[in-house]
């Protein structure tokens, strides 16, 4: 197994590395058994477990950041805990208690502290909580047993360019139906999006950009991140839709754009036909951080935002990552120490 000392932290990319310690908790006989950090990255399940056939599986993604003084901090983990509950409820799963979720994140990061990348490398420890239906049954019904786990793994930039703008491709596939599961972080949403992501990457784009499934006229989001744009009047705009993932990075940037950068902010419809009116565009998310978009390809139309990072995108990036890495003052409670 790779050890932390073997890693070239500034060039680790976004891949899985087993750190050997995970958090594990089981739900049986109508209750959650006490969870704990274990020295294993494996579990054993029945072949008839719900997750394998009927897909009761949800997850979260957040990061731990190493500050200059060596301390380790999270970013708004209680919002991940809340969204985890909402995702669980959408799939009729038994939620993991939110305060236990946050405690478990602290515990598993502490246990894997040597894997939190050094300050100044731009790398972070990605934290992946997940919940699956483990009960064995052949009839279609919600599982009566569940497994809650958290693994962690050190990561660098998700999109190859990092802060270098890259191209996105408007796909003809749909990610989520109007009253479907788009707002929940279900594993199935990601399985459904693989084909569009692969098509986009094969054509040389960073990721697929989805339009709304009902009318195919409005930008929804990318495969792994929400979308934002900056108008010529310096307004921060981002799609409002019940079928996109309610991104924690998006909610944080809406606040920072308004209160720290003094921009007007608006969540609204963004029509693909009007996307050329934006002067900057980007993808935002935990893995994506802020990834500027240089071009959007829509059928035979190319919407061009230019090869350089726009000034407002850069300011938003500096403010967000400055807060996450302890270089800039954070709103109360945003960056709890582990």
Site residues for ligand PLP per CB under 6 A: 61, 221, 224-226, 245, 247-250, 285-287
Among 24, 85, 112, 286, binds ligand COI (CB under 6 A): 286
* Euclidean distance between CA atoms 325 and 206, whole angstroms: 26
Are 99 and 107 spatial neighbours (Cβ–Cβ below 8 Å)? no
Beta pairing partners, 327: none
12 belongs to the binding site for ligand COI (CB under 6 A)? no
The contact pattern for ligand COI, residues 42-61, with x = CB under 6 A and - = no contact, is -------------------x
20 belongs to the binding site for ligand COI (CB under 6 A)? no
Binding to ligand COI, residues 212-241 (CB under 6 A): 224
Binding segment toward ligand COI, per CB under 6 A, in 80-88, 273-281, 283-291, 298-306: 283-291
Burial class (CB in 10 A: 0-12, 13-18, 19+), 14: middle
Cβ of residue 129: shortest distance to ligand PLP, in angstroms?
Answer: 12
145 binds, among ligand PLP, ligand COI, none (CB under 5 to 8 A by kind): none
290 belongs to the binding site for ligand COI (CB under 6 A)? no
Which residues neighbour 242 within 8 Å (Cβ) at sequence distance 6 or greater? Answer: 178, 179, 182, 183
**Which secondary structure element, helix H or strand E, spans residue 226, and what is its range?**
strand 226-230
Which residues neighbour 168 within 8 Å (Cβ) at sequence distance 6 or greater? Answer: 200, 205, 206, 207, 208, 209, 222, 283, 293, 295, 296, 297
Which residues neighbour 300 within 8 Å (Cβ) at sequence distance 6 or greater? Answer: none
Cβ of residue 86: shortest distance to ligand PLP, in angstroms?
Answer: 12
Cβ of residue 109: shortest distance to ligand COI, in angstroms?
Answer: 15
Number of residues that bind ligand COI (CB under 6 A): 5
* Euclidean distance between CA atoms 155 and 81, whole angstroms: 21
Question: Closer CB to ligand COI, residue 110 or residue 128?
Answer: 128
The contact pattern for ligand COI, residues 68-87, with x = CB under 6 A and - = no contact, is --------------------
Binding segment toward ligand COI, per CB under 6 A, in 176-184, 211-219, 272-280, 282-290: 282-290
Cβ of residue 301: shortest distance to ligand COI, in angstroms?
Answer: 27
Q: DSSP letter at 236?
A: E
In b/e form, how buried is each residue of 244-270, taking b as 16+ CB within 10 angstroms? bbbbbbbebbbebbeebeebebeeeeb
Residue numbers at the binding site for ligand COI (CB under 6 A): 61, 224, 285-287
């Amino acid at each position: 197994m790779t050890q932390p000392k073997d890693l070239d932290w500034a060039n680790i990319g976004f891949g899985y590395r087993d750190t050997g310690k995970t958090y594990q908790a089981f739900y049986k006989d109508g209750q959650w058994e006490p969870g704990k950090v274990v020295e294993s990255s494996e579990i054993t399940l029945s072949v008839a477990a719900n997750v394998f056939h009927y897909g009761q599986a949800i997850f979260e993604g957040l990061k731990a950041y190493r500050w200059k003084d060596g301390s380790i901090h999270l970013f708004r983990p209680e919002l991940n805990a809340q969204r985890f509950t909402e995702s669980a409820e959408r799939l009729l799963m038994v939620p993991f208690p939110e305060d236990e979720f946050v405690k478990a994140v602290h515990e598993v990061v502490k246990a894997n502290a040597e894997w939190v990348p050094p300050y100044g490398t731009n790398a972070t420890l990605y934290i992946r909580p997940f919940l699956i239906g483990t009960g064995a049954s052949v009839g279609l019904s919600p599982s009566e047993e569940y497994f809650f786990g958290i693994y962690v793994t050190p990561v660098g930039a998700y999109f190859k360019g990092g802060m270098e703008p890259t191209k996105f491709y408007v796909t003809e596939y749909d990610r989520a139906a109007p009253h479907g599961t788009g707002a929940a972080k279900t594993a199935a949403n990601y399985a459904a999006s693989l084909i569009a992501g692969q098509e986009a990457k094969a054509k040389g784009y960073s990721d697929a950009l989805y339009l709304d499934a009902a009318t195919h006229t409005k930008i929804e989001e990318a495969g792994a991140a929400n979308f934002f744009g900056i108008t010529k009047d310096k307004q921060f705009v981002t799609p409002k839709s019940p079928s996109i993932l309610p991104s924690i990075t998006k909610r944080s940037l809406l606040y920072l754009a308004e209160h720290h950068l003094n921009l007007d902010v608006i969540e609204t419809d963004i029509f693909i036909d009007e996307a050329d009116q934006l002067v900057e565009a980007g993808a935002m998310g935990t893995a994506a951080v802020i990834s500027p978009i240089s071009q959007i390809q829509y059928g035979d139309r190319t919407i061009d935002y230019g090869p350089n990072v726009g000034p407002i995108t850069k300011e938003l990036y500096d403010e967000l990552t400055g807060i996450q890495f302890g270089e800039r003052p954070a709103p109360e409670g945003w960056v709890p120490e582990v």
